[in-house]
Amino acid sequence: MDLFEYQGKELLRKYGVPVPEGRVASTPEEAVAAARKLGGRVVVKAQVLIGGRGKAGGIKVARSPEEAGEVTDQILGMDVRGHTVKRVLVERAGDITDEYYCSFLVDRSERQFLGIMSAEGGVDIEEVAANDPEKITRVHIDPLLGISQFHARELVFGADIDRDARKEAIAILPKLYDAFVSLDASLVEVNPLVLTGEGRVMALDAKVSVDDSAGYRHPIFDELKTVHEVPEQERLAKEKGLTFIKLDGDVGIIGNGAGLVMSTLDVVKAAGGDPANFLDVGGGAGADVLSSALEVITSNSEVNSVLINIFGGITRGDLVAEGIIDALGRLEIKVPIVVRLDGTNAEQGRKMLADAPHEMLVTAATMLEGAEKAVELAGKGGE
Amino acid sequence: MDLFEYQGKELLRKYGVPVPEGRVASTPEEAVAAARKLGGRVVVKAQVLIGGRGKAGGIKVARSPEEAGEVTDQILGMDVRGHTVKRVLVERAGDITDEYYCSFLVDRSERQFLGIMSAEGGVDIEEVAANDPEKITRVHIDPLLGISQFHARELVFGADIDRDARKEAIAILPKLYDAFVSLDASLVEVNPLVLTGEGRVMALDAKVSVDDSAGYRHPIFDELKTVHEVPEQERLAKEKGLTFIKLDGDVGIIGNGAGLVMSTLDVVKAAGGDPANFLDVGGGAGADVLSSALEVITSNSEVNSVLINIFGGITRGDLVAEGIIDALGRLEIKVPIVVRLDGTNAEQGRKMLADAPHEMLVTAATMLEGAEKAVELAGKGGE
Amino acid sequence: MAILIGNDTRLLVQGLTGREGSFHGLRNKKYGTNLVAGVTPGKGGSDVEGVPIFDTVREATTATGANTSMVFVPPPVAADAILESHDAGIEVIIAITEGIPAMDMARTVTHLRRGQRAAALIGPNCPGVISPGKANVGIIPGEVCTEGPVGLVSRSGTLTYQIVYELTQEGIGQSTCVGVGGDPIPGSDFIDVLERFEKDDLTKLVVLVGEIGGDAEERAAAWVKENMRTPVVAYIAGFTAPPGKRMGHAGAIVSGSQGTAAAKKEALEAAGIRVATNPTEVSAIVGELL
Amino acid sequence: MAILIGNDTRLLVQGLTGREGSFHGLRNKKYGTNLVAGVTPGKGGSDVEGVPIFDTVREATTATGANTSMVFVPPPVAADAILESHDAGIEVIIAITEGIPAMDMARTVTHLRRGQRAAALIGPNCPGVISPGKANVGIIPGEVCTEGPVGLVSRSGTLTYQIVYELTQEGIGQSTCVGVGGDPIPGSDFIDVLERFEKDDLTKLVVLVGEIGGDAEERAAAWVKENMRTPVVAYIAGFTAPPGKRMGHAGAIVSGSQGTAAAKKEALEAAGIRVATNPTEVSAIVGELL
C-alpha cells in the first residue's frame, strides 16, 4: 500500500525524522485554519499517489491564510495524471539551501536492503541515474546486521553532501532506516531531503510504501487505508477476495492464479481480442467466488464475451462448474461465457456443465481454443 | 560486574519477566516495614555475590513482619563463604509446584549465544550436568538473528517442562533473552524458574552479570555499582587504574599485562616463593602509576620483598624507572625491590636506576633471575 | 536423479494438523512421497492418519530422519517455522504459505544463505516441487505430470500446471518442476534452481516460466549464457498486463530494468534462449529441441 | 611467506588522526610497514605526516588499494569501524582497541564469519601482528623480534613480547607473531591462526601461549592433534593465579572445562604438545626441536 505524503511524514516523524510542521485539509476552510495555526508563509501540496503534481500545478505557496484557502480551492478536485486531488497538505514554508535525494528499499536481486543517496535532489532521480549515474551512491545493508553508522557515512560522504548538512544527514539516515524496517515498508523515499537556511536537515517530501502482508502487526495500516479510494468495481471485487483490474477491451477474463490470468490476457490479445479486465479468483476458490467473479465482470457493459480459464490445483473443477451454473441461473447474463476447465476434478466439472446447458455457455477444450472462441464471440456481440 | 539478586530481578522485571514482589532491606526495621507492605508470609534472602547462601542459613521464611525482622537480624552480618551479608531481599512467599533452570550466556567457543534449560531446577546445575547431562537442553542462538519462538520451544519442549508451565515459559524465554542482550549481560541465569500453585511461571532467583565495557551506554551500571563493596586495597588500586588482587604470600608482584603478571606469579612460585598479590599496571603506564603501584603493594605489611617485572611495549622503561625512583624517594620503603626491565626504552630505564642507587633497590637481568632474587630476599626478610 | 526431492525425500510437514496442511500433506503422501512426520507445537505424541506429530522439528528429525520440510503454517509464524527447520538440519525447505511479510523473509533468507550449512529454501508463496513418479511436495496436481527429461522452473502456480499439462499431453515428461514463488524475496530464484538442473543427469532441457516485474528473468538469462550447457526454453506471461502502479523511483534505479515482458523476452533471446508466445508453443519448441 | 601480514600488506589505520593511532601507525610505518592511508570521518583530504586521510574506508581502499586495516578508534565506534573495513573489502582487520562490549563483538564476529567473503579479524583487545622484517601492525615492539622459522600465537600481550624476546636472545627468529587478544569473543582464536601457520612455508614450528580461563587451549589441543604436522610448543600462564570469581554455573556447563592452567596443560600434553614451565624454557624446547 502506497501512503499519501502526509501519512508518510506523520510516520517518519514518529521515528525522529525531522519533517516540516503541517496539517492536512480537505476543504479551503480547513486550509485557512491550518495556515492560521502554522503562521507565516505556507506551502499547499496536493495529496495524490502519483508523481508529477508539481508540474500539474498541485503545489503552491501562500503568504496568508486567505491565500492558502484560495490555492486550496484551486488544487482540490484537480486531476493529476488520472488521480483526483481530495486533500492538501498545508505546511510551514522555509528557506531551502540545498536539496538531496535518499531512499531505502528492498533490493530483490541481492536479497538485501539498499540505501540510495544523491546530492541531486528535488529532481527526477531516474533521470539522474540515467544521465549521471556517478552522482548516485548505493550502499547495501544486510537485513540481519541492520544499519551501522558507517553505512550512513558511506552514503553521505559518497554522495558528497555539503559539509554543513553532513552531520545531521548522517544522524537522520539511521532513523529513516529504522522507520523503513519497523513499518514493514518496501520503500521509504525522501526527495528532496533539504538543508534549510537555518542549517537544519529535514524531509520535505516522503513516499512510503508498506507491505500489506505485515498489516496484522500494524493496526495503523487499516486506519491509513480508510482514505484510499479505489474504483467501485475494484472495491467490490476485493470484498469478494478477487484481484481485479479494469482494462479497456471487451473480452472479460476470469482465471485462477496471476500468471495464468496474465497468460490468458496475452493469448486473447494474440487471437485479435482486447481484454476487458484482469481477474484472478486466487487459489482454492469455491462456487460462490466464481459466481461473484462472473457478476463483477458482467456488470461492465462494455464486455461482449467472457473467457473463464481455470486450471485446477487447489481450485476444484466441480466447484468452478457449480459457481458458473449458479451465476447463469442467478444473473441475467447476456454475453457468451466461454469456459475452459482442466486440472483437479475438471472432468467432473465439465460433466456438470454439459448436464446444465445454457444458451450463453460455450466450452473449449484448450486455452487457445477458448481464447479464439471468446474473441470471435466478442466480435459478433460488438457488431 | 555481577549484580545482586535484587538488582537483577529489578532489571528483569523491566523486560517483562515476572518476579515475586519484594523489597530490599539493610536493617531489621526496614525488613519489618517491607514485610508489612507485602503482607502475608515472606521470604528473607541474604544478598551476596556468591552461591550457597541457602545451606549457610541465608534464606528464611517469616510468617509475620516481626518474624521478618527477627530473621533479618540473624542474616545480616552473616558470613557466606567469605562474603558478609549487608542486605536482605524480603519477598512475598508463594506456593511452588515445580522448579526449573534456565539461562542465557555467551558461548565463547561457538561465538554464539546459548540458551540452557532444565526441568531440574533449584539444585546445583553443574551436578545435573555431570550426572544427568541428558536432562539439560542447550540451544544456540545466532547473535544477529536473535531469539525466535522456535528457540524457546526447543528449550521448553526439549527440557520436558510440565505441560502446565509450557506456554508461559515459552513466552518468558524471549523476554529473558531480550534482557540478556539489551543489558549487555554476559549471563542471565534463573535458578529456579518456578511454576506457582496458581499456574504462573516466574523467576524466583536471578543471577545477572553485565559487561563493564558496555557501561558507557548503561548509565544505570554506575548506580548498581554503588552497593558493591570491594576491599580497601583493591578499591585504591582501581582508582589508580591498576588491577589488583590480594593473595596470601609475602612476595609483592608488579607487572604489565595480565599474562606476564600471571607468568611472574608462576615463576615466583616455582622459585619457592609465595606471591602476595596480583598487580597489573596495564598498558602504557606512566611514572605516577608505577609509583602508586609500589605504594599499594608496600602498604601490605606481610610483603617482605617486591618483584617488578616490566616488559615494555606501549609501556616505556624510562617512565617505569622514573616511577620507581619517585616511590623510593617519596615512601619509606623497608623491603627490597627487585626490578627487571626489558623492551621499549628499557636500557634508558636501567641506566636511570643505576644512576639513582638506593639500598632497597636490586636489579635483575632476566625474569627468572628476578624471581629467584625476590624469593631469596623475602626469605631473609621473613626470618 | 531429479533435483531437490526424489526417492530419498523424507518429508515432514510443519502444520500437518491444520486443515490445509493435512489435506495437501496426505495428498502428497498418497502420491508416493515418503511422509514421515508432522510438527505442531503442543500436539507432539498424536498422529494424523498414522503420521506421527512432534512438538519441534528437532525432535521430528531425530526420531524420523526427515530431511525435507513443507511449511504450511500461517504467515505470522511461517518465517519462524522455516528458521526452525534450517536450525534442525533440514536440507530442503518448501514453504507454501502465502502472505509472509517481506521483512521476515529478508531476515530469514539472509540467515539461510549466510549459514555455514546451506539449506535450499523454495518459496514462500509457491506451489511447491514435484519430481514426477518420485515425490510431490506442495500443491502441484500430480496427475498432470509425468516422468521425463524436462526440468521446469516457474514464478507462477497455475501457469506452471498449464505448461506441465501441455508437455504431458505431448508425451514429454518432467524430471522436476519447481515453483519458486512470486514473493519479493524468494528463498531460491531462477538461478539457484537452474544451477541444480545443470548438474542433474536426468534433466536434458529446462523450461523457464517468468512473468512481468523485477529482473529475475534478465539475471537468469545472463547466467544461462555464461554457465549452462543444458538448453533452456522460456515463456513470459504479461505482455498485455496493465502497467503496474508504482510510487517513488528507486525501484527502477536498482534493477536498471523496466521489468516488462518485452524487456525480459529481449534479454532471454539475447542469451540464445527461445521464448514461446503461448503455453502451447512451449511444448512445441521443447518437442523440437529434445 | 609469513601469515596475515607481510611485504604485500597495504595498511590503512582507522583512527590515524588520534593520539594513539598516529603514534603506533607511524611507528609501524617506520618499521617498514607499507602504511598507505588513514580513515577519520570528516577529516578526508588532510594527511598525517604525508599519509592521506579519507572519510570512509571505501574511499581509502579505492584510492590506495589498502588491503589491511588497523583499528585504533574508541570502543563505542570500534565495532562499526571493523564492519566498515569488512564491507569495503579489507582482507585482514587488526583491532587493537580494548573495551569493546561483547554484544557488539558477538554481532560483528558473526557477520564476518558468516559472510560470503571471509575477512580475517585479529583482536580486538590485542597487541597486533608482526611478521619480522616485513611488516608490523599493532603495538608489538619490533625491536625484540627477528626473522625466522617460528610462528607464535598468544592470548596475551606483554607475555608475548617476553617469549619473543627469549627466542630472539637464543637466536631463534619468528615468521609471524599473532596476538589474538583476550576478549570473550575474539575475531580469531588459536585454531584460526594455527590453520594459517600449518599452511605457511616459512613456519617450521609454532609456539602457542595460553592462559587460564575459557577452553580455547583445550580446543586448540584437539585441533592440533587432528590436523597439524608442524610441531607445536606451548606455554600456559596462571598456575598460581587466584581462582577467578564466578557467579552462576552456566559457564562451566558450556565448556565442560574448569579453565585452569593445569587442565589446559594436561589437554595439550595429551595431544602430544610439550608445555614449557616458564618463558625461558619455551626457547629451550624450541631450540631443541628445530
Q: What is the mean pLDDT of each run of 10 residues along chain B (383 residues)?
A: 95 97 96 94 93 88 95 93 91 94 91 95 86 94 96 97 95 98 96 94 96 95 83 77 87 93 95 93 85 88 94 88 92 93 92 93 95 92 50
Closest Cα of chain B to D99: distance in Å?
A: 5
Provide the β-strand partners of residue B136. B118
Determine which helix (DSSP H) or strand (DSSP E) holds B46, and give its type and residue range.
strand B42-46
Give the number of A-D residue pairs with CB atoms closer than 8 Å.
35
Task: Examine the fold and report which residue of B64, B93, B122 is the final residue of a domain before the chain moves on.
Answer: B93
Residue A33 covered by a domain:
yes
Mean per-residue pLDDT, A140-167: 96
Residues of A in contact with D83 (CB under 8 A): 145, 148, 150
| Contact flag C56-B150 (C-beta cutoff 8 Å) | yes
Determine which helix (DSSP H) or strand (DSSP E) holds B34, and give its type and residue range.
helix B28-38
Residue A382's contacts (CB-CB under 8 Å, 6 or more residues apart) are: A250, A304
Residue B167's contacts (CB-CB under 8 Å, 6 or more residues apart) are: none
| Contact flag B150-C107 (C-beta cutoff 8 Å) | no
Q: What is the per-residue pLDDT for B234?
A: 76
Give the number of A-C residue pairs with CB atoms closer than 8 Å.
194
> Is B220 part of the contact surface with chain D (CB cutoff 8 Å)?
no
Rounded Cα distance between B110 and D191, Å, is 12
Partners of chain C (3+ Cβ pairs below 8 A): A, B, D
| Contact flag B105-D101 (C-beta cutoff 8 Å) | no
Burial tier of A313 (Cβ tally within 10 Å: 0-12, 13-18, 19+): buried
Closest Cα of chain B to D10: distance in Å?
A: 23
Closest Cα of chain C to B139: distance in Å?
A: 10
Burial tier of A55 (Cβ tally within 10 Å: 0-12, 13-18, 19+): exposed
Task: Check for a shared fold between C10-122 and C140-289.
Answer: yes
Q: Do residues B363 and B245 both lie within one domain? A: yes
Residue B190 covered by a domain:
yes
Tell me which residue of D176, D208, D221, D205 sits closest to D289, measured CA to CA. Answer: D205
How far is the CA of D99 from the CAs of A106, B213, D94, D103, D184, in angstroms? 35, 5, 15, 11, 11
Using an 8 Å Cβ cutoff, are B200 and B33 in contact?
Answer: no
Burial tier of A234 (Cβ tally within 10 Å: 0-12, 13-18, 19+): middle
C-contacting residues in D 97-136 (Cβ below 8 Å): 114-116
ipTM: 0.91
Q: Do residues A190 and A335 both lie within one domain? A: no
Closest Cα of chain D to B180: distance in Å?
A: 10
Question: Given strand B243-246, what is the order of strands in its sheet?
Answer: B243-246, B277-280, B251-255, B305-312, B337-343, B361-364
SS3 B210: strand
The alpha carbon of residue A335 and the mean position of all alpha carbons in its chain are separated, in whole angstroms, by 32
Residue A274 covered by a domain:
yes
CATH number for A363: 3.40.50.261
Residue A220 scores a pLDDT above 60: yes
What is the percent of chain C where pLDDT is above 90?
A: 84
| Integer Rg of chain A from CA | 26
Q: What is the per-residue pLDDT for D250?
A: 58
| Contact flag A145-B144 (C-beta cutoff 8 Å) | yes
Partners of chain D (3+ Cβ pairs below 8 A): A, B, C
Q: Do residues A77 and A136 both lie within one domain? A: no
Rounded Cα distance between A220 and A184, Å, is 12
Residue B383 covered by a domain:
no
Residues of D in contact with A150 (CB under 8 A): 56-57, 80-81, 83-84, 87
How far is the CA of A211 from the CAs of A69, C17, C216, in angstroms? 35, 29, 20
Partners of chain B (3+ Cβ pairs below 8 A): A, C, D
Using an 8 Å Cβ cutoff, are A86 and A47 in contact?
Answer: yes
Residues of B in contact with C81 (CB under 8 A): 150
What is the percent of chain A where pLDDT is above 90?
A: 73
> Is D240 part of the contact surface with chain C (CB cutoff 8 Å)?
no
Using an 8 Å Cβ cutoff, are C210 and C186 in contact?
Answer: no
Q: What is the per-residue pLDDT for A124?
A: 83
Residue to mutate among A112, A144, A149, with most B CBs inside 10 A, is A144
Using an 8 Å Cβ cutoff, are A329 and A321 in contact?
Answer: no
Q: What is the per-residue pLDDT for B383?
A: 45
Q: Do residues B352 and B364 both lie within one domain? A: yes
Out of A144, A266, A367, the one facing C111 most closely (by C-beta) is: A144
C-alpha cell at B205: 532467583
Q: What is the per-residue pLDDT for D243?
A: 62
**Nearest residue in chain D measured CA to CA from B212:** D101
Backbone angles phi, psi at D285, to 5 degrees: -65, -40
| pLDDT tens track for D166-205 | 999 999 999 999 999 988 899 999 999 999 999 999 999 9
Out of A142, A145, A153, the one facing D56 most closely (by C-beta) is: A153
Residue B323 covered by a domain:
yes
Q: How confident is the model at residue A383 (pLDDT cuts 50, 70, 90)?
A: very low
Out of D56, D77, D81, the one facing A157 most closely (by C-beta) is: D56
Q: Do residues A313 and A220 both lie within one domain? A: no
Q: Is there a catalytic annotation at residue A101?
A: yes
Closest Cα of chain A to D41: distance in Å?
A: 8
C-alpha cell at A318: 466441480
| Contact flag A157-D55 (C-beta cutoff 8 Å) | yes
Domain extents in chain D: 10-122, 140-289
Tell me which residue of C3, C32, C1, C33 sits closest to C13, measured CA to CA. Answer: C33
Mean per-residue pLDDT, D119-143: 94
| Integer Rg of chain B from CA | 26
Residues of B in contact with D127 (CB under 8 A): 313
| Integer Rg of chain D from CA | 19
Q: What is the per-residue pLDDT for C214?
A: 84
| Integer Rg of chain C from CA | 19
Determine which helix (DSSP H) or strand (DSSP E) holds B155, and give its type and residue range.
helix B149-158
Mean per-residue pLDDT, D112-119: 75
Rounded Cα distance between C70 and C164, Å, is 22
CATH topology of domain C10-122: Rossmann fold (3.40.50)
Amino acid code (one letter) for B124: D
Instruction: List alpha helices for chain A, DSSP H.
Output: 5-14, 28-38, 65-75, 125-131, 149-158, 163-182, 220-225, 232-239, 258-270, 287-298, 317-330, 346-355, 367-382
Residue to mutate among A7, A100, A108, with most C CBs inside 10 A, is A108
Number of domains in chain A: 3
Q: What is the per-residue pLDDT for C247?
A: 46
Q: Do residues B213 and B286 both lie within one domain? A: no
Looking at the annotation, which residues of B are catalytic?
A: 101, 189
**Nearest residue in chain C measured CA to CA from A218:** C101
Q: What is the per-residue pLDDT for D247?
A: 45
How far is the CA of B29 from the CAs of B20, B25, B34, D128, in angstroms? 21, 8, 9, 56
Backbone angles phi, psi at A271, to 5 degrees: -80, 0
Query: What is the architecture, at CATH level 2, of domain C140-289?
Result: 3-Layer(aba) Sandwich (3.40)
| Contact flag C115-D116 (C-beta cutoff 8 Å) | no
Q: Do residues B5 and B152 both lie within one domain? A: yes
Closest Cα of chain C to D109: distance in Å?
A: 13
Q: Do residues A33 and A115 both lie within one domain? A: no
Closest Cα of chain C to B161: distance in Å?
A: 12
| Contact flag A150-D44 (C-beta cutoff 8 Å) | no
Residue B254's contacts (CB-CB under 8 Å, 6 or more residues apart) are: B279, B281, B290, B293, B294, B297, B306, B307, B308, B309, B310
What is the helix, strand, coil percentage profile of chain B, to 5?
Answer: 40, 25, 35
Q: What is the per-residue pLDDT for C255?
A: 59
Determine which helix (DSSP H) or strand (DSSP E) holds D13, and give its type and residue range.
strand D11-14
Give the orientation angle of helix D75-87 with respect to helix A149-158, to 10 degrees.
Answer: 60
| Contact flag C101-A270 (C-beta cutoff 8 Å) | no
Residue A246's contacts (CB-CB under 8 Å, 6 or more residues apart) are: A231, A233, A234, A276, A277, A300
Burial tier of B222 (Cβ tally within 10 Å: 0-12, 13-18, 19+): exposed
| Contact flag A111-C109 (C-beta cutoff 8 Å) | yes
- The answer, yes or no, to whether the previous bond of A133 is cis (omega within 30 of 0) is no
Closest Cα of chain A to D71: distance in Å?
A: 14
Please indicate whether residue A353 or residue B124 has the higher confidence score (pLDDT). A353
Using an 8 Å Cβ cutoff, are D69 and D33 in contact?
Answer: no
Parallel, antiparallel, or unpaired for β C232-237 and C205-211? Answer: parallel
Q: What is the per-residue pLDDT for B208?
A: 95
C-alpha cell at C197: 538442473
Q: Do residues B372 and B310 both lie within one domain? A: yes
Rounded Cα distance between D280 and D166, Å, is 6
> Is B29 part of the contact surface with chain C (CB cutoff 8 Å)?
no
| Contact flag B187-D99 (C-beta cutoff 8 Å) | no
The whole domain housing B53 covers 21-93
| pLDDT tens track for C208-267 | 999 988 889 999 999 999 999 999 999 999 998 766 544 455 555 565 667 889 999 999
C-contacting residues in B 146-175 (Cβ below 8 Å): 148-151, 153-154, 157-158, 166
Residues of B in contact with D184 (CB under 8 A): 106, 108, 186
| pLDDT tens track for C134-186 | 999 999 999 999 999 999 999 988 999 999 999 999 999 999 999 999 888 99
| pLDDT tens track for D225-271 | 999 999 999 999 999 876 654 445 555 556 566 788 999 999 999 99
Closest Cα of chain A to C63: distance in Å?
A: 31
| Contact flag D141-B269 (C-beta cutoff 8 Å) | no
First CA to last CA across chain D, in angstroms? 18
Provide the β-strand partners of residue C154. C179, C209
Residue A213 covered by a domain:
yes
**Nearest residue in chain B measured CA to CA from A142:** B144
Residue to mutate among B112, B144, B217, with most A CBs inside 10 A, is B144
C-alpha cell at C244: 503496474
Residue B382 covered by a domain:
no
C-alpha cell at D183: 576478549
| Contact flag A153-D83 (C-beta cutoff 8 Å) | no
Residue A106's contacts (CB-CB under 8 Å, 6 or more residues apart) are: A113, A114, A186, A187, C102, C106, C184, C185
How far is the CA of A191 from the CAs of A195, A206, B84, C247, in angstroms? 12, 7, 64, 12
Out of A113, A313, A368, the one facing C278 most closely (by C-beta) is: A368
C-alpha cell at A274: 482486447
Using an 8 Å Cβ cutoff, are D11 and D36 in contact?
Answer: yes
| pLDDT tens track for A70-115 | 999 999 999 988 889 999 999 999 899 999 999 999 988 888 999 9
Residue A383 covered by a domain:
no
The alpha carbon of residue A125 and the mean position of all alpha carbons in its chain are separated, in whole angstroms, by 20
Backbone angles phi, psi at B243, to 5 degrees: -100, 120
Residue to mutate among C43, C83, C117, with most B CBs inside 10 A, is C83
Amino acid code (one letter) for B167: K
Burial tier of A248 (Cβ tally within 10 Å: 0-12, 13-18, 19+): exposed
CATH number for B29: 3.30.1490.20
Partners of chain A (3+ Cβ pairs below 8 A): B, C, D
| Contact flag B166-C42 (C-beta cutoff 8 Å) | yes
